[in-house]
Structure 1
Amino acid sequence: MRSLSSITWLVVWLLCTAAWSAGAAELTDSDRAYAASLGKVSFCVDPDWEPFEIISPAGQHQGIAADLLRLVTGRAGLSLELVPTTDWDESIATSKAGQCTLLSFLNQTPKRDEWLLFTDPLFTDSNVFITREEHPFIIDPAILSGESIALPSGTSMEERIRRDYPNLRVIITDSEKSAIDMVSTRQASMTLRSLIVAAYTIRKEGLFNLKIAGQMPNYSNNLRIGVLRDQPRLRDILNKAIATITPTERGQIINQHVAIQVQTGIDYALTIKIALGLIAVLAIVAYWGWRMRKLSQELDRLSQTDNLTNLPNRTRLNLQFPIELARARRLGQGLSLIMIDVDHFKRINDEFGHLVGDKVLIAMSDLVRRSVRAIDLPARWGGEELVVLCPDSHLDQALILAERIRQAVRDHDFDTGRRQTVSIGVATLGPSDDIDQLLNRADQALYIGKSSGRDRVCSEADLTGT
């Protein structure tokens, strides 16, 4: 067996390797004497973080972190003594108690700064979302709604996700593998793991129903050595050793643990035949996969579109409403709602029949669609009622749009022999509003318009007479 890592893992190596300085300072005689005076330096690790690090059944520290740590401490002239723990939480607790001087491979966070000093990054690796194959690509996790994320206990990512993305429900697991298994078995929507761990685990466990669905912006793992706060000189000595590690050395260590292995002595003629056969099968599978995705997208569109007016329906509005509300809260923008009711619509049905009534609704919907902005969402609320959801709009802007719609309807010839009008209610999002409160105020404003003569725009300001 031999490793074919030169191409396959070159990209991973280039993405994950931290920068190094060729002009790194060498250890002084005083540094070496101090390192020797420390004797055995105790350290704790994550015993279940493959391929970065594990504690083997024989009690040995193994993995990418183990090899890098040995390289660094060897150059620093340090001798290490492993403090065995059963999980990462125990390692953190042992470090806090001062029973291990070093933590081998972790991100720096404000909470950890309370008892640790940190070296320069020993290794840098991107964090990526892992989801099931059918999950959409994740561009902005802040706009996700009703989704959960599984994370191993005690990680720095847990702190940051809870702080930056409160819209995601965090599920804590006891290991990396458990977090990924929860996604695979639909117990969680996603997990956030390092690129190296994601690729390694998916390949090793054969979890081909999973995919990497996006990268978390500005959430790289800058993995460092944590040193107890009363050991600043030890941290400085480790930094000097870290600065001597080259990208080539890091790449060699990665490939020892995650390189793809193949057998030598290949029958190339047979390989080509098999490859061509696989390409044909994959082409057929890809084509039918594309057809099924297109069909699924069309079914989704139809389920969220009103059959008569071809506007988005109430289902589509209910899906978009919480997304826009969350965006308005996060960005400090306005969010307004326009509610439209066709005046005397029952009279149209009674005098001309329902077919004419349907034509009036279709024409009305087209007028509304042509009047709104590209970012607005017009929808059929039910019966003769339409609504327009207006992101990034305060009350005065929504009133201008509502008046434009009212005038467009008033000026249009509906072929009924009479002028057709609408009454409109407008409300805008308040500091403590939820969706129902915003809808209720728009509906009340609409009622005022209907009861005070119709063919007019009323706003929530009219509810109080201000």
Structure 2
Amino acid sequence: MSTFRLGRIFFALIFFVGVTYFAMVCRVQASEVPLSDAERAYIQDNPTLRVANEMAWPPFNFSENGEAKGYSIDYIRLIAQKLGLKVEFVRGPSWGMFMGMIRTGDIDVIMNIIPSDERRAYINFTSAYVISSAALYTKGRHSDITTLDSLNGKTVAVPAGYISQELLTRKYPNIKQYLTTDTAEALQAVAKGEVDAVISDTGVAEHLIRKLKLESLVNTTTISDPMFVNVLSIGVRKDRALLLTILQKGMDAVSDEETLRLREQWLSPSQGSQVRSPLAFTEGEKAYLAAHDEITMCIDPDWMPYEKFDADGKHIGMTADYFDAFALRIGKPIHVVKTKTWPQSLDAARKRVCDIMSLVMKTEERRAYLDFTAPYLVSPMVIATHPHAPFIADIPSIGDHVVGIVKGYAFVSVFRHRYPDIHVVEVNNINDGLDKVRNGELFGMIDTLATIGYAIQQNYIGELKIVGKFEDTLNLSVGVRNDAPELLSIFNKVIDSLTPEQHRAIRNAWISVHYEEAPDYTLLIQVIIAFMIISVLMVYWQIQLRKHNAVLERLSNTDRLTGLFNRLKLDEMMEMRHAEFARFGRPFSIILLDIDNFKLVNDRFGHQMGDRVLVKAASLLKDQSRTVDSVGRWGGEEFLIICPETRAEGAKVQAEYIRAAFKSTDFGTGDTITVSLGIAEMGEGEGVKDVILRADAALYTGKNNGRDQVCVAAPRPGSTQAFTQTPTGQ
């Protein structure tokens, strides 16, 4: 036999062994996913997945030189490999056309889709596989475009069929929409000046801005409304329920190492992406969700601004927004059970008609049928009565007056236990109680600050007022049926997943909604309301000063003199920002500043002038800071500003504005007041104390070098250059 023929036989054997080995590997990989007989039969009968491949949504899903690319593309390829499926990518149609194709069955799967009630009518959804942030992009910086509300009357470019179109129509009807084919066209419309802004996933926008050379576009602000967080799932055609369970099993088989490799390839921060991993549910939690098509919930039918049923029976209020966001993260619809009263809601929970209660206070009696998540809403208790009533410093000051509390609220028993001498009458709801106060049947009504403030603004302006805020607070949690521990841990995780900015956006939307929606409200009324609140505080300050010569009762998180955050609140905010930095790599910097030669002000003009300087300094700092910044009094004449999503360079620019503003402001002393400022950016491996110490050292370097300085701490401890310094007057 010739050497040539032997070689051919040898290479044929090598080829046969290689093919056999590859087939065995594929079979083993596919068998790693535990499939039922019905699921295996489905794959055998339907071996190919038809998947939508968008033309331009990088880094998730796009086409380049005729090839499907992106995080979502590689993710579905990985799942298909584990399941033994082939993938056929369908490219060319727009997003709106793809949505039509999944309705008609022309494609099986659509990637990077956000679930909504409207879409559930014709699409099934897996759990989320990635969560990313959305932002507003404008042509150049616009100081008047900082939130979605600031776009009222303006025009926003929106790709047709995107979830943002549905959300803007439902939640922000005063924003005009300019529909485009895709995100690239939307960004170009902003660049051409055809529209005012575009809402886009940050990673997608940054990729397209670089690719299309749209350098004039800037990220104005990350959208704080949690409904605009992109919770991306896999959408499966409605008539393929078995395919949904197969793909979910494939997703569950993807390891953390495989996910990390994909994230590093496509979603690294250097590429502009701001992504978070979807919630990490345990096997038990996943099994619970898989076994339930929906989660049932009871609410208080009339407890605004927290929640109620409107005239059409729709759930509205703060909790409606919270649970819209929770449902997105869980991947299951939450069905609200209709009740007429709060006691009916409690009874429904006791009988297991409801899986959860949206907003409930923990009590021993309720432990018989409910478990409780960590509190996600905390509100101080207040009392409202007639405008002529004196200020009430604490609950015992109520004396022998009769007050009302809503029937069935946990605070009734707590109140009676703590204050047995106070006469309490239970009322049907907040408006029933306030009506009785107005009619003279009750002296006052006790409830949360948000509830009473909202009710007065809606129905009792000029007739009732808040005359006291108490130390007692209402700590409100999600109540979860106590025979479902998996559901309890699920809701603890979704509550923990919301950022402070998202909490604040929901609260602000409902606490301020009366100003925007009540047709009779005018600027004059708003000024009068503000004047009434300030007057009450000033009266309280004068009375306490004259009678007791003591310090005012300070609010739990504010400095009594300046109205800024106090040291305790700043410590809490620092820990929160540090946790976000450690978990998500989100940068932040701090500015620590000290008023130069402040002791001379006190020595020459007295402490009252010193207090006026501090109050004016606090007002100036608020004016010079962004809405996302946390500004507080650190102690004495020292102030601290926490700047989220800000590098040291950006904080330095802000500090320079502050330094210049102090020099140009007349504080009434006849002399120029200057400040020294130290800046530090949180670094890897650092704790809160470390970054504060570095900022403090930078501050005192500026003071030692002549004051009126901005000094930036070196970015890493141990750097050869300790500080960078801006000399006086620059």
TM-score, normalising length from structure 2?
Answer: 0.33
Counterpart-to-counterpart distance in 1, 2:475 and 2:446: 15
Q: How does 1:11-410 map to 2 (within 5 A)?
A: 26-28=279-281, 30=283, 31-217=285-471, 219-259=472-512, 261=515
- SS state at 2:478 partner: strand
Call closer, same or farther: CA 1:83–1:172 in 2, change over 3 Å.
same
Counterpart-to-counterpart distance in 1, 2:278 and 2:417: 38
Q: How does 1:379-458 map to 2 (within 5 A)?
A: none
- SS state at 1:223 partner: strand
Deviation at 1:212, TM superposition (A): 1.5
Call closer, same or farther: CA 1:57–1:240 in 2, change over 3 Å.
same
Call closer, same or farther: CA 1:85–1:212 in 2, change over 3 Å.
same
Deviation at 1:169, TM superposition (A): 1.2
Call closer, same or farther: CA 1:77–1:32 in 2, change over 3 Å.
farther
Aligned letter for 2:302?
D
Deviation at 1:29, TM superposition (A): 5.8
Call closer, same or farther: CA 1:127–1:144 in 2, change over 3 Å.
closer
Counterpart-to-counterpart distance in 2, 1:251 and 1:45: 21
Aligned letter for 1:26?
L
Please list the CA deviations of residues 239-277 of structure 1 after superposition, one character each: whole Å capped at 9, or x if unmatched: 0110011121122222332325469xxxxxxx9xx89xx
Number of matched pairs: 256
Counterpart-to-counterpart distance in 2, 1:240 and 1:116: 18
Aligned letter for 2:324?
R
Call closer, same or farther: CA 1:184–1:3 in 2, change over 3 Å.
farther
- SS state at 2:497 partner: coil
Aligned letter for 2:473?
S
- SS state at 2:435 partner: helix
Give the aligned CA root-mean-square deviation in angstroms: 3.3
Call closer, same or farther: CA 1:88–1:161 in 2, change over 3 Å.
same
Call closer, same or farther: CA 1:110–1:29 in 2, change over 3 Å.
closer
Call closer, same or farther: CA 1:215–1:53 in 2, change over 3 Å.
same
The answer (yes or no) to whether the contact 1:36–1:77 under 8 Å persists in 2 is: no
The answer (yes or no) to whether the contact 2:381–2:474 under 8 Å persists in 1 is: yes
Please list the CA deviations of residues 345-377 of structure 1 after superposition, one character each: whole Å capped at 9, or x if unmatched: xxxxxxxxxxxxxxxxxxxxxxxxxxxxxxxxx
The answer (yes or no) to whether the contact 1:180–1:191 under 8 Å persists in 2 is: yes
Any unmatched runs of 5+ in structure 2? 1-147, 151-223, 225-275, 518-522, 544-730
Any unmatched runs of 5+ in structure 1? 5-12, 14-22, 264-270, 295-466
Deviation at 1:126, TM superposition (A): 1.3
Q: Which residue of 2 aligns with 1:328?
A: none
Counterpart-to-counterpart distance in 1, 2:282 and 2:491: 15
The answer (yes or no) to whether the contact 2:294–2:334 under 8 Å persists in 1 is: yes
Moved more, 76-85 or 24-33: 24-33
Deviation at 1:202, TM superposition (A): 0.8
Counterpart-to-counterpart distance in 2, 1:150 and 1:144: 12
The answer (yes or no) to whether the contact 1:24–1:244 under 8 Å persists in 2 is: no
The answer (yes or no) to whether the contact 1:25–1:240 under 8 Å persists in 2 is: no
The answer (yes or no) to whether the contact 2:305–2:318 under 8 Å persists in 1 is: yes
Q: Percent identity?
A: 26
The answer (yes or no) to whether the contact 2:279–2:329 under 8 Å persists in 1 is: no
Call closer, same or farther: CA 1:104–1:140 in 2, change over 3 Å.
same
Counterpart-to-counterpart distance in 1, 2:312 and 2:505: 24
Please list the CA deviations of residues 9-62 of structure 1 after superposition, one character each: whole Å capped at 9, or x if unmatched: xxxx9xxxxxxxxx9993236233432322221111111111111112322211
Counterpart-to-counterpart distance in 1, 2:414 and 2:281: 39
Counterpart-to-counterpart distance in 2, 1:70 and 1:191: 31
Q: Which residue of 1 aligns with 2:673?
A: none
Call closer, same or farther: CA 1:24–1:135 in 2, change over 3 Å.
farther
The answer (yes or no) to whether the contact 1:144–1:167 under 8 Å persists in 2 is: no
The answer (yes or no) to whether the contact 2:323–2:334 under 8 Å persists in 1 is: no
Call closer, same or farther: CA 1:222–1:25 in 2, change over 3 Å.
farther
The answer (yes or no) to whether the contact 1:73–1:79 under 8 Å persists in 2 is: yes
Call closer, same or farther: CA 1:114–1:86 in 2, change over 3 Å.
same
Deviation at 1:143, TM superposition (A): 4.7
- SS state at 1:249 partner: helix
The answer (yes or no) to whether the contact 1:54–1:62 under 8 Å persists in 2 is: yes
Counterpart-to-counterpart distance in 2, 1:119 and 1:203: 31
Deviation at 1:142, TM superposition (A): 2.4
Aligned letter for 1:241?
V
Call closer, same or farther: CA 1:254–1:143 in 2, change over 3 Å.
closer
The answer (yes or no) to whether the contact 1:3–1:262 under 8 Å persists in 2 is: no
Deviation at 1:226, TM superposition (A): 0.4
- SS state at 2:311 partner: coil
Aligned letter for 1:106?
V
Counterpart-to-counterpart distance in 1, 2:378 and 2:460: 26
Q: Which residue of 2 aligns with 1:386?
A: none
Counterpart-to-counterpart distance in 2, 1:25 and 1:235: 18
